[in-house]
Every structure is written in C-alpha cells, then in structure tokens.
Amino acid sequence: MALLSIEDLSLHYVTSRGVARAVDGASLSVERGQVVGLVGESGCGKTTLARAVTGVIPRSARIVGGKIMFDGMDLVTASRRDANRLRWREISFVPQSAMNSLDPVYRVGTQLMEVLTDRGGMDRRKAKARAAELFEMVGIGVDRLHDYPHQFSGGMRQRAAIALGLALSPKLVIADEPVTALDVVVQRQVLDLIRRLQQELSLSVIIVTHDISVVAYLCDAVAVMYAGKVVEVGRAADVLNAPDHPYTMGLYNAFPDLERSQRRLTPIAGAPPSLIDPPSGCRFEPRCPFSIAKCGEEPPLEEIRAGHRAACWRTGDAAELREKAADVATWEQREGVGA
Amino acid sequence: MEYIARRVLYTLFVLWAVASILFLMFRLMPGDPRAAFIDNTFTAEQQQLLLVQFGLDQPLYVQYGKYMVNLVQGDLGMSFIYKRPVVEMVMEVLPNSLVLTLTSLIIAYAFGMVAGAFLARMRGTWVEGVTIPVVLATRAAPEFWLGMVFLAIFSFSLGWFPAGGASSAGITYDSFWQQLVSPDYWRHLALPVITLTLYLQGLPLLLMRSNMLEVMEDEFVTMARMKGLSEWSIVMRHAARNALLPVATAFALGVGFSISGNVVIETVFSWPGIGRLLVTAVSSSDYPLAQGAFLFITVVFVVANLIADMLYAVLDPRVSHGSAG
Amino acid sequence: MAAQVDTSPAGAAAKPRAAWHRRLKQVLPTSDPFAVAGILIYVVFILVAIFADQLATHDPMEILFTDTYKLARSLPPGPDHLLGTTNVGRDIYSQLIYGTRGALLIGFAAAAAVVAVGTLVGLVSGYLGGWVDNVLMRLADIALGIPFLPFVVVLAAFLRPSMWNVVFAITILLWPNSGRVIRSQVLSVRERAFVEAAVVTGASKAQILFVHIAPNVLPLSFLYGSIAVGWAILTEASISFLGFGPSDTVTWGYMLQDAYASQALSRGHYNWFVPPGVCIILVVLAGFFITRGYEEILFPKLRR
Ligand SMILES: Nc1ncnc2c1ncn2[C@@H]1O[C@H](COP(=O)(O)OP(=O)(O)O)[C@@H](O)[C@H]1O
Ligand SMILES: [Mg+2]
C-alpha cells in the first residue's frame, strides 16, 4: 500500500474575484522510500496541492472533494486531533523561502528545540543532543545553533529548514521548491544533501519544483501538473525520456539540465490560464502546438503503459509528437498565444 | 554599538539645539523680554539689580556661554517668583509626573496589547465593527476634555474621587516614598490615571491589532501550524512576540509623548507635576522656572526617544545581532 | 538625443496631468464606507463654518438678558437658547457654531501650512541632496526632538496670543513628519525612468521637480494634510484650554477653557462643555476615517 495517496482532490480558493480552482481533481501517490517530483509552471497549483497534504491551508481555501489517504487514514475527514498528531512527526514540510519560514526573533537552535520538546516529547538534554546531531547531518557547524536566522546565508537557512523538517524523523517530507531561491552552485549542494539524506533515512519525499532538471536529478516518480490537474504521471525516467503529454515535452525544452548541456532551450509561449475561469476541454489546448478538434473535450488521465498515465487525446501519436517537440521551431511557431 | 553611540550623539545634539533655541527665544523675541519679567513697579535700581542678577547686562555671547556652562553643571538659576533654585522645584514635581505617566502607560499598554491581540482574532465580526470606532474616538478626544467629563461625573456628581491635587488638605509627607505608599495619594492619582489610560490605550491596541493581523499571515506562523504546535505557542510565542516589537517602541516613545502632553492633564486635575509647573510658570512670567521646566520635559522626551531606539535594538535580534553568515 | 526626443513627446506632455489625476483618485478612497462617513462629517462642519452667520441665533460673545431684564445666566437648553447659556449669559449654541468656524479655520490653515512647508522641504531636500538636504534634515531632527505642547505653550507666551501665532507654532513643529516622508518618496521617484527622460529632453530643474516628481508625492502631502487638520484642531483646543489661545476668535477650545474656569464642571453644566468636546472628536475622527490605515505614519519610527 502506498504511504500517501491523493485521490481526485479538489481544492478551491474563494477570492473576491471569484473561485479559483487551484487543484481540480488531482491524484498522486507516494510509495514508501520513494521520491516523487511534482512539476509544472508557476501558478499550476503545486504548492496548493502540497500544502493540502500538511493540512494547513489558507483561510480562503476549501477542500471540496477527494481524499488524502496517509497510512490508511483520510486526512480530509480526519478529526483535528488525529490530523494534528501526524503533523511534523509523520509529515513535515521544507518551504521555498527558509528566511520567511523561520521566526526572526528566535535562535535557530531554539526553533529546533521547540519542535523536539513540544512535538517530539524529548527533555531538554536529549533535544540538545538531537539538535546538534541534525545540524551535523545537514552540514552546519554546531556552534551556529546559537545564531539567528538572519545571520545565516541562504544555503545555510535552507539546510536549517531541512534539519527542522527531519527533526522528528517523519515518514514523509514535502519540499516546496527547496532550491529555487538559491544560486546554482548552492542549489546543487542542497540537492545532493536531500538525495543523501533521503537514501540514508529511506524517506518518502515529495519535491515540488518548476524545474524539470531537478526531477531528473532526484526523483523516482514524477507527476506533471497543469492548471490544477495532473496531466502526466509515471516513473521519472519514463516520463522524462518518453513523455506522452505535449506539456511535459514543452517543459523539457524550457529548462537547462543541471549538467548545463548545450541543448537549445525555448519556453512554452503564453502562460498557464487563470484558475478562476479555466478553458473548457483540455486546459493546455490554447498553448499546445499539436491541438486537434477533439481537444475541445476534456481528456481523461488514462493508463498508457504500466505505471504511466497521461491526459491527452493524442497519446497514440506520442512518438511522432516527441520528435516534432524536440525541434525548437515547433514551439516558436505558435505566436500570439496567451500574450 | 556604533549605532547606539550615534544615537547618543544625536540626542546630545538635539538637547544642545533645544537649549540654544530656548536661550535665543527668551532673549531675541520681539519686544524686550525683560519687560515680561520685570514689572514696571520696580524702581530703576531694582531693575538694574535684577538685570545684573540674571546676567542680562552682559553681551549676548557672554550670556550664552554662561548659560551653557551653568546648564551643563545642572544650574538652571533661581525662580523669579519663588526665589528658589529651579532645579530643586522641578525635582520636587517631576516624580509626580513620572508616577502619573508611567502608571497610566503601563496599564494602557498592558490592556492595549491584550485587547489588540484579541481584536485581531475577532477580525470581521461585529465586535470589531463596534470596537474600532470607539477606540478611535478615544484617540480623537482631547485628553483634557476626557478629564473634564470624568471630573464632572465621578468627582463632582458622584463624589467618588477628589476633585484635584495630589493630597488632601493638611496631609504632608516626610519623603516621596512615604507619599508613594499613601492611600490618599493614590486616591488623588486615580482619576488622572483613568483619564490618561483611556486616552493612551488606543495606540497600543490598534498597533497590536494590525501587527497581529500582519504577522499571522507570515510564513513562519504557517510553519508553526504545520509543526502542529499548540494554538498558545503559535499565537503567543510566535505571532505576539513578533507583533510586540513596534509596540514596545511605542511604549518608550509614549513616555516622552505623554510627559509632553501632561501639561493639559495636570492642569485639569491640578496635579502638581512638571507640566502644570510649566504652565503656571509661563502664565506668571517666571522665566527661569519656565525655561527649566521646559528643558526638563525636553530631556525626558529626548531620552525616551533614545530608549525607544535602543529598546528596539535589544528586542529585535536583526538589529542587535549583526549578520555573521 | 534628438531621436529620443521624438519617441516620447506625446506621452511626456500628457503624462503629468494624468498623473496628478490618478494620484488624487488613489488618495480619495470613495468606496470605503468609513472614508465616506469621514468626508460627510467634514462637509457638514465646513458648511456650518461657512454659514455660521445664518446658523447662529446670537452674537457668541454678547451678554444676554432675559425678557425680564435679568442676566440670562446659566440657562438650561431651551427654544431660545438651544444649548443654554454660560454663567455670564452667553449663548452656547451660537458659540459652538462660531467655534466651528474658528476651529476649522485654524485647522485648515495649519494643515495647509504644514503640508506646504513639509512638501517643499521634502522636494528640495530630496531632489537637491547634498548640504541642503543635510541642513534641512538636521532641522527636522531638532523639531522632532522638541516636546510639542510644552513648546507651543512657551511660544504662545511670547507671541501675542492670536490665531496666526497658533498656526505658526503648529507649523514649525509638525512639518518634519511630512517633510521626511516626502523626501524619501522623492528619492525613490527621482531615479525613475521618466525623470531621466525629462533630463534628456532638456526640461529645467524646476520643471522636473514640479511636473514630474511632485505629482508622485501629492498623495502623501494630501494624507499628511488630512491628519494635520485634526492635530491642529486638537492643539488649538489644548492651547486655548491652558489659557494661551487666541483672544480674538471663539473656538471650541476657548469654550472648554471658559467652562472649566467658570466651574461648569462642579455645577454639572454638561450642556456647556460636552458639545465642544464632541465636535472636536467628530472632526478628528473624520480625519482618522479618511486616512484610515495610515495610523503608522504619525509614528514613522514604528515602521521599519
Ligand atoms: N491563498 C491564496 N488565495 C487565493 N488564491 C491563491 C492562493 N494561493 C494560491 N492561489 C492561486 O492558486 C493558483 C495556484 O497557486 P500555487 O499553488 O501557488 O501554484 P504553484 O505552486 O504551482 O506556483 C494560482 O493561480 C494562485 O494565484
Ligand atoms: Mg509554488
């Protein structure tokens, strides 16, 4: 049984401008010890989906359907007490901006101790030892436990956030764009750290990123999200080498490898649609270079091969489309889209 | 450290400037300033004597030099009317002002912070809709008018409190401390404190409320929720602790502001403090006394501002602990 | 250079006026019910001030007599004297009406002066920089280091108590608040591209300052103006209450001082001292409502 399985989850934001369907029937599962990438452009609902798993969602957010099964319990319908018991002990979160996620007025060590004593039930002596151990694990000098967050560099803050996330040895760590705010060299170091710790501790991890190269580097499985929906999901190697959804093909062209190979890059023209009033039918259709008449209808997320699913009407021609998609010109032709 | 040194220098600079402005004001204002202080019933000799006594017969720069030297030595001259050293008179009433101000401020800020945090939680409810305009009204009211209304109701009409002063007739104290623990003193203090508290609580309340609302949206509060910390920890340890920073600064600034506003409150309640001393000195043209009282108020005001800055530095690690990473 | 001149003229000519308009619109938050209430209160008081002669039933300072030729002292509110009379037989309602005129006159005059000085200093200081900036800002430091009311008291004792002197005193102590904020606004605006464009096209310094930079600081000036009105009215009331107020004008502060000094409190003449206080609250409150959410700019130190 999967550790986490999100089934047909829908989450809406009620705003003054209307209801934004930020997550619209998304499904995703994470096996024990697996690293799952959640990838897509900014504004596609990745953060929203990831945060829904932690159970802490903004006041304007409403879960309107679906299940979040974690270790046999549905977090959507669980009582507050049950859900709270899991927080940080079983499911922890590494945020995008470690700067804002650390309380500026307490020492980093104090914030670690808080979790260890309040949530981990350790006494102070034990907690101290654990805090030192955690800092060692993420490669920060133990003396820096006495520093305040603003005294850390960006990379150190991110490491501290990882230490914080691992404090109670959770089963699942959700990392939301854990390296996006860092410069390239530091990005690499932090990704290595995540990979090492994941293997040592056999963690289950969800990595949220807009950068498909991060997925290639870290992930066992990947789910591609577009406009509130999961449009393609499968083993990372599969999805990256033989994408079935044109959006995945486009994403691949849009980002450099971590190895910085000389591949020509081109962004997908336009931007993800507003989730308040998304296009009917396939949501990617307006930006898709391969759209056909049928795309006016919404494609279901269908199994194509074992463990590989995609929501596209043209999965049958996928091999041909991949060839065309590899040609940068395909993406440049579609002018005036979404501009 | 350098920051604090800079602030202290700046404070000294302001004090020097104010002292100099005062000096000039009392000597260069239109109309012969002496006329204000020397009654025309004085004989010519008496006038001359007074001029010499106050050094007004010397050239301006000599006067200024002497004035500054005396000032630095803590000599503010003699009261023209009471014939007593100004410093002595000021020191006699300054404690009364500080007791009034600090008592009110402490109550007002303690109340304001709790009520402000509570109101933040009540956001969007009718409680908020009713409370905010009322609180704003207390900030809009002239403090002396609040005092007048309270005097009329609680003192004259209901007779609950004395109508003014700091002690009942015939009561004297051997020391300030004896006075401070006397119930009679506190009975006199009550109504001014209530008035001032009501006037002062609005700022910390509104400030705390808006800070709380802001901080509660901060990412680290969301993280605290994800960590499953208790509601108490989230609100008090994280949100309130951060929201408190500007309120603490406001408190220190408030000491200065309300000492300076004391001129009206102390006048309404005939409270023997430094504000009332200034008003009576000015009304009776007691120039050295007015100058001394004003300088002391300025010192308290400027020092309170200085403390406010330092307090912020102490409470906010981002200022007190420079970046080392 | 010439080519660049050609690319922008239409925009450059049209922009300044549009900018003023847009900025003003931003400042007047007409959709906020509190702001609307505040504006309404102001309108009512302004009308009362304008039509004081028509609205008042008596000369505010005239000592009145009853039909039986007795001094009309301390009369309760009634049809002849809507709010009763003072202890020497003056009509309180009429005082309140004329007091509105006096208070608003002082309030608006002081606010205008504060904002004019503050804006000018802010513009000059921010735009010129250098030693001019330094001197002006040190002056602002000093003014902010002076305890407000005590200074006004001392000053009022020197200057003959008159309306204009009260305005003067308020102005010299309140300009730094707006001056400082406007200066920092100018500093940020100055760097913006359109200013540089104006430099390229050869506009004079004064032109750049007033045509391109000024519209951007106008909202702040307006904001400080609305706040300063309330401050000035409160300050005038305090000064008058202490007995250093203008002797030539009836104001709310004068009424309160008169009531206090005439034992209105111990005699329970609420009809005398409550109305002026309520009027002050309303005007100041209206200012708060209009500038709601900008509380912190009164205490710039609180914002870091
Ligand atoms: N707190 C919120 N209130 C209203 N709308 C939100 C909120 N957070 C995100 N959204 C909207 O939901 C959509 C998805 O956002 P997000 O989950 O942050 O996407 P991503 O992480 O993929 O960039 C966006 O259109 C965004 O504008
Ligand atoms: Mg995101």
Tell me, what's the pLDDT at C64? Answer: 65
Beta bridge partners of A230: A225
Residue A5 has pLDDT above 80, yes or no: yes
Rg (CA), chain B: 24
pLDDT in tens, chain B (325 residues): 677 788 888 888 888 888 888 888 777 654 444 554 555 566 667 667 766 666 667 777 888 888 888 888 888 777 878 888 888 898 988 988 999 999 999 999 999 999 998 888 888 788 888 888 888 889 889 999 999 999 888 877 787 888 777 776 666 777 777 777 777 778 888 899 999 999 999 888 988 888 888 888 889 999 999 999 998 899 989 998 888 888 888 888 888 888 888 889 999 998 899 999 999 888 887 878 888 899 889 988 888 888 887 887 777 777 777 654 4
Tell me, what's the pLDDT at A135? Answer: 93
Per CATH, the homologous superfamily of domain B86-324 is MetI-like (1.10.3720.10)
Q: Which residue has the tokens 């990947």?
A: A222
Helix residue spans in chain B (DSSP H)? 2-28, 33-37, 44-53, 60-72, 86-121, 126-140, 143-150, 176-180, 183-200, 202-216, 219-226, 231-232, 241-268, 274-283, 287-315, 317-320
A232, A235, A240, A246 alpha-carbon torsion, rounded to 10°: -20
Region A274-295: mean pLDDT is: 88
Contact list, A87 vs chain B (CB under 8 Å): 226-228
| Higher per-residue pLDDT: A268 or A116 | A116
Q: Which residue has the tokens 């107020």?
A: C245
Tell me, what's the pLDDT at C300? Answer: 37
Q: Are strands A35-39 and A229-235 parallel, antiparallel or unpaired?
A: unpaired
C-alpha to C-alpha distance for A232 and A312, rounded to whole angstroms: 9
Provide the residue type at B213 as one letter.
Answer: L
Instruction: Indicate the domain borders of chain B.
Output: 2-72, 86-324
Range of the domain at C101: 31-303
CB A219 within 8 A of CB A31: no
C-alpha to C-alpha distance for C298 and B5, rounded to whole angstroms: 26
Contact list, B224 vs chain A (CB under 8 Å): 103
Determine how many CB atoms are found less than 10 A away from the CB of residue C135.
11
Q: Which of C95, C101, C88, C104 is nearest to C60 (CA)?
A: C95
Contact list, A156 vs chain B (CB under 8 Å): 325
C-alpha to C-alpha distance for A176 and B222, rounded to whole angstroms: 14
- Closest ligand 1 atom to A176 CA: 21
Q: Which residue of C has its CA nearest to B250?
A: C302
Q: Which of B208, B224, B304, B319 is nearest to B261 (CA)?
A: B304
A47 lines ligand 1 (CB under 6 A): yes
Q: Output phi, psi for A96, to 5 deg.
A: -65, -50
Region C294-300: mean pLDDT is: 41
The protein residue with its alpha carbon nearest to ligand 1, atom 24, reads A43
Hey, what are B58's tokens?
């010397």
Residues 6+ apart with CB under 8 A from B298: B15, B18, C145, C146, C147, C150
Tell me, what's the pLDDT at C11? Answer: 37
Determine how many CB atoms are found less than 10 A away from the CB of residue B40.
6
Distance from residue B51's CA to the centre of ligand 2 (Å): 78
Contact B225 A56 (CB under 8 A): yes
Start-to-end CA distance of chain C, whole Å, equals: 41
Question: Is residue C202 domain-resident?
Answer: yes
Q: What average pLDDT does the structure give for chain A?
A: 88
C-alpha to C-alpha distance for B281 and B293, rounded to whole angstroms: 8
Rg (CA), chain C: 23
Domain of C48, CATH number, reads 1.10.3720.10
Distance from residue A45's CA to the centre of ligand 2 (Å): 7
Burial class (CB in 10 A: 0-12, 13-18, 19+), C69: exposed
pLDDT digits (tens, 9 = 90+) for B56-101: 677 778 888 888 888 888 887 778 788 888 888 989 889 889 999 9
| Higher per-residue pLDDT: A132 or B152 | A132
Contact list, B230 vs chain A (CB under 8 Å): 118
Contact B253 C153 (CB under 8 A): no
Hey, what are A208's tokens?
């949220």
Contact B220 A114 (CB under 8 A): no
C-alpha to C-alpha distance for B291 and A72, rounded to whole angstroms: 79
Q: How far is CA C156 from CA A235, B29, C150, C243, in A?
A: 83, 12, 10, 10
Buried b (16+ CB within 10 A) or exposed e, C250-288: bbbbbbbbbbbebebbeeebbbbbbbbbebbbbbbbbbb
Distance from residue A89's CA to the centre of ligand 2 (Å): 23
The protein residue with its alpha carbon nearest to ligand 1, atom 3, reads A13
Tell me, what's the pLDDT at C20? Answer: 54
The kind and range of the H/E element at A299 are none
CB A209 within 8 A of CB A38: yes
Tell me, what's the pLDDT at B67? Answer: 81
Contact B228 A102 (CB under 8 A): no
Determine how many CB atoms are found less than 10 A away from the CB of residue C113.
20
Instruction: Select the residue of A84, A100, A148 nearest B228 (Cβ to Cβ).
Output: A84
Tell me, what's the pLDDT at A100? Answer: 85
State whether residue A92 sits within 8 Å of chain B by CB. Answer: yes
Shortest-distance ligand to the CA of residue A39:
1
Predicted TM-score (pTM) of the model is: 0.80
| Alpha carbon of residue C274 to chain centroid | 23
pLDDT digits (tens, 9 = 90+) for A233-277: 999 988 988 899 999 998 887 777 666 566 677 788 888 888 888
The kind and range of the H/E element at A62 are strand A61-70
**What total of structural domains would you count in chain C?**
1
A43 lines ligand 1 (CB under 6 A): yes
Contact B227 A84 (CB under 8 A): no
C-alpha to C-alpha distance for A254 and A263, rounded to whole angstroms: 10
> If phi over 0 gives left and psi between -120 and 50 gives alpha, with beta otherwise, what is residue A296?
alpha
Q: What average pLDDT does the structure give for chain B?
A: 82
Distance from residue A261's CA to the centre of ligand 1 (Å): 32
Contact C141 B21 (CB under 8 A): no
Tell me, what's the pLDDT at A284? Answer: 92
The protein residue with its alpha carbon nearest to ligand 1, atom 18, reads A47
Hey, what are A245's tokens?
């959804």
C-alpha to C-alpha distance for A252 and B28, rounded to whole angstroms: 80
Distance from residue B217's CA to the centre of ligand 1 (Å): 15
State whether residue A153 sits within 8 Å of chain B by CB. Answer: yes
Question: Is residue C51 domain-resident?
Answer: yes
Contact list, B148 vs chain C (CB under 8 Å): 256, 259-260, 265, 273, 277
Residue C298 has pLDDT above 60, yes or no: no
| Higher per-residue pLDDT: B144 or C1 | B144
A48 lines ligand 1 (CB under 6 A): yes
Contact A115 B227 (CB under 8 A): yes
Mutate to test the pocket of ligand 1, among A19, A21, A38, A48 (most ligand atoms within 8 A of CB): A48
Q: Which of A54-63, B176-185, C72-81 has the highest mean pLDDT?
A: A54-63
Distance from CA of B156 to the nearest CA of C (A): 5
Residue C14 has pLDDT above 70, yes or no: no
Chains that touch C (3 or more CB pairs under 8 A): B
C-alpha to C-alpha distance for C225 and C27, rounded to whole angstroms: 12
Q: Which residue of B has its CA nearest to A54?
A: B226
Contact B226 A88 (CB under 8 A): yes
Length of chain B, in residues: 325
C-alpha to C-alpha distance for A329 and A232, rounded to whole angstroms: 24
A199 lines ligand 1 (CB under 6 A): no
C-alpha to C-alpha distance for A31 and A221, rounded to whole angstroms: 10
Distance from residue A138's CA to the centre of ligand 1 (Å): 30
Tell me, what's the pLDDT at A224? Answer: 95
Chains that touch A (3 or more CB pairs under 8 A): B
C-alpha to C-alpha distance for A192 and A189, rounded to whole angstroms: 5
Contact C266 B145 (CB under 8 A): no
Relative orientation angle of helices B183-200 and B86-121, to the nearest 10 degrees: 50
Question: Is residue C166 domain-resident?
Answer: yes
Contact list, B123 vs chain A (CB under 8 Å): none
A226 lines ligand 1 (CB under 6 A): no
Distance from residue A42's CA to the centre of ligand 2 (Å): 6
- Closest ligand 1 atom to A228 CA: 14
Tell me, what's the pLDDT at B289? Answer: 87
Report the SS3 class of residue A119.
helix
Q: For a pLDDT cut of 90, what percent of chain C falls above it?
A: 4
Instruction: Select the residue of B222, B318, B324 nearest A104 (Cβ to Cβ).
Output: B318
Instruction: Select the residue of B21, B140, B264 nearest C149 (Cβ to Cβ).
Output: B264
A44 lines ligand 1 (CB under 6 A): yes
Buried b (16+ CB within 10 A) or exposed e, B80-111: beeeebbeebbeebbbbbbbbbebbbebbbeb
Residue A50 has pLDDT above 50, yes or no: yes
Determine how many CB atoms are found less than 10 A away from the CB of residue B76.
22
Report the SS3 class of residue A206.
strand
Q: Which of A14, A13, A10 is nearest to A23 (CA)?
A: A10
Region C221-237: mean pLDDT is: 83
A191 lines ligand 1 (CB under 6 A): no
A158, A160, A164, A165 alpha-carbon torsion, rounded to 10°: 30
Instruction: Select the residue of B226, B242, B322 nearest A54 (Cβ to Cβ).
Output: B226
Instruction: Select the residue of B233, B318, B322 nearest A118 (Cβ to Cβ).
Output: B233
Contact list, C231 vs chain B (CB under 8 Å): none
Hey, what are C256's tokens?
């309160």
Q: Which residue has the tokens 């609680």?
A: B154
Tell me, what's the pLDDT at B106? Answer: 93
CB A92 within 8 A of CB A173: yes
A16 lines ligand 1 (CB under 6 A): no
Mutate to test the pocket of ligand 1, among A28, A38, A47, A174 (most ligand atoms within 8 A of CB): A47
Q: Which residue of B has its CA nearest to A161?
A: B223
Buried b (16+ CB within 10 A) or exposed e, C174-208: bbbbbbbbbbebbeebbeeebbebbeebebeeeeb
Region A284-312: mean pLDDT is: 90
pLDDT digits (tens, 9 = 90+) for A82-97: 888 999 999 999 998 8
DSSP one-letter code for C63: P
